[in-house]
Amino acid sequence: MKFKWPENKQEQTKYIALIAIMAIVVIVVLVMFVINPFRKAKADNLTALLDLKAKIENAQREIDKKPLEMKRNTEMLNKILQASDAYMLKPVLGRNYLLGATPIIEKHVKALSLTLVKPPTEVGIGDVILPQTVRKGSPLPTVKTYTARVNLKCSYANVVRLVRAIESENPYVTIAGISIVGAPLVDPENHTVTFDIQWPIWADEETAASVRQQLKKSSEEEEAEAKAQDTKETATNEKKP
């Protein structure tokens, strides 16, 4: 069927109006159901895209801090290990801390030509922070206290010398108690001296080994990271004209 444009002007106006209505309907339908959904999907995508882009940029900034974090971690591990090796009391033959403490005490006593009334005795292991008082989510305390008791008969001046020797050798050690009782009628020069020496010990004996292992791994990773960085820099320099 061939469409014939009407000759009558009134008919023409009707046709034009009808075509206009149909065109508007088609345009509205197309905009509503085709163009707009695509635009909305694109806008949503764009928002997600910008979010993801920002997330990646932030992540990259964090990743760039890796060498610094590695350095900080290695530094901490080094300091912990140094303090552990030099100043913390280590158990001997299993969990015997007294065997570790006795030679330290005897060394100082001998150096001052003093004599112990009896060998050092164990007061015990204690907590600095009670595990049950640790807040949820906070790390458990890693250090405990070990206290040994020393009994001597010596002058006041010698007590001062002995305490000085012990304290200057180890800044982490604490004299947790002293008792100096004089017997002026029996022996005015020498007093009955008892004092407690307190050392820090690891709550978990494996901590030192674990720190050592962490340090080794951390140093290796730091070295690898530095090498990777060098390679990257060399490649960038070669690309430049």
Question: According to CB under 8 A, which residues from 189 to 228 bind other proteins?
Answer: 195, 200, 211, 214
Residue from 92, 116, 123, 141 in contact with other proteins (CB under 8 A):
141
Structure tokens at 205: 């004996």
Residue from 112, 123, 129, 208 in contact with other proteins (CB under 8 A):
129
Q: Tell me if residue 222 falls in helix, strand or coil.
A: helix
Does 17 engage in binding with other proteins (CB under 8 A)?
no
Tell how strand 187-202 and strand 174-183 pair up.
antiparallel
Instruction: Please state, in angstroms and as integers, the Cα–Cα distance from residue 239 to each residue in 89, 226, 229, 230, 235, following that order.
Output: 56, 20, 15, 14, 6
Residue from 30, 32, 86, 209 in contact with other proteins (CB under 8 A):
30
Does 153 engage in binding with other proteins (CB under 8 A)?
no
| x/- map, 155-174, other proteins, by CB under 8 A | -xx-xxx-xx--xx--xxxx
Give least dist CB 226 to other proteins, A.
15
E runs forming strands in the chain: 116-127, 143-154, 174-183, 187-202
Does 151 engage in binding with other proteins (CB under 8 A)?
no
Q: Which of 197, 196, 108 is nearest to 158 (CA)?
A: 108
First to last CA, the chain: 72
Q: Which stretch binds other proteins (CB under 8 A): 89-97, 100-108, 124-132, 231-239?
A: 124-132
Give least dist CB 25 to other proteins, A.
13
Residue from 133, 135, 136, 237 in contact with other proteins (CB under 8 A):
133
Q: Which stretch binds other proteins (CB under 8 A): 38-46, 108-116, 117-125, 227-235?
A: 38-46
Rounded Cα gap, residues 173 and 96, in angstroms: 18
Residue from 25, 63, 111, 117 in contact with other proteins (CB under 8 A):
63
Q: Which of 95, 111, 123 is nearest to 197 (CA)?
A: 123
Instruction: Please state, in angstroms and as integers, the Cα–Cα distance from residue 168 to each residue in 114, 144, 165, 172, 192, following that order.
Output: 18, 21, 5, 10, 23
CA 194 to chain centre: 40
Residue corresponding to tokens 């995508």: 45
| x/- map, 92-121, other proteins, by CB under 8 A | ------------------------------
Give least dist CB 54 to other proteins, A.
10
CA 29 to chain centre: 61
Residue from 94, 131, 137, 184 in contact with other proteins (CB under 8 A):
184
Task: Specify the residue, 53 or 216, whose C-beta has the smaller distance to other proteins.
Answer: 53
Task: Specify the residue, 140 or 235, whose C-beta has the smaller distance to other proteins.
Answer: 140
Does 23 engage in binding with other proteins (CB under 8 A)?
yes
